[in-house]
Amino acid sequence: MVHGDLYRLEGPGALAALALDEFDRGGTLWLIEWPEQGGSALPASDVALSLSVAGATHHVVAVGVSPQGDAWLDRLGDLAALEVGPASP
């Protein structure tokens, strides 16, 4: 898994200095915050996440934005349906 927080990135040209291409291999999950800072230098997203907080409640909305993203979310939903009780402490 690769996590990138691009909030302070000074534009797509600065992305090369992060050497993220060293992690570009099949099957790697990339979580990129502020992807707009990387512009077209980043590959297209498969899933877009939206996080919000309302009082004490946290919300996550996941939307597939590619066929691969849709398939991943479908598989995740299938796995979530297998859960039959609360997680163990």
Return the domain boundaries, the chain. Answer: 2-81
Please report, rounded to a whole number, the percentage of residues in the chain having pLDDT higher than 90. Answer: 9
* Claim: this prediction has a pTM higher than 0.75: no
Tell me the backbone φ, ψ of residue 20, rounded to 5 degrees: -65, -20
Exposure on the CB side of residue 70, measured as CA atoms within 13 A: 3
Tell which CATH architecture fits domain 2-81.
3-Layer(aba) Sandwich (3.40)
pLDDT band of 17, cuts 50, 70, 90: confident
Own/partner long-range contacts of 72-80 (Cβ < 8 Å, ≥24 apart): 72/46, 72/47, 73/47
Instruction: Give the containing element (helix H, strand E) for 77.
Output: helix 67-81
Distances (CA, A) of 16 to 21, 22, 83: 8, 11, 41
pLDDT for res 89? 53
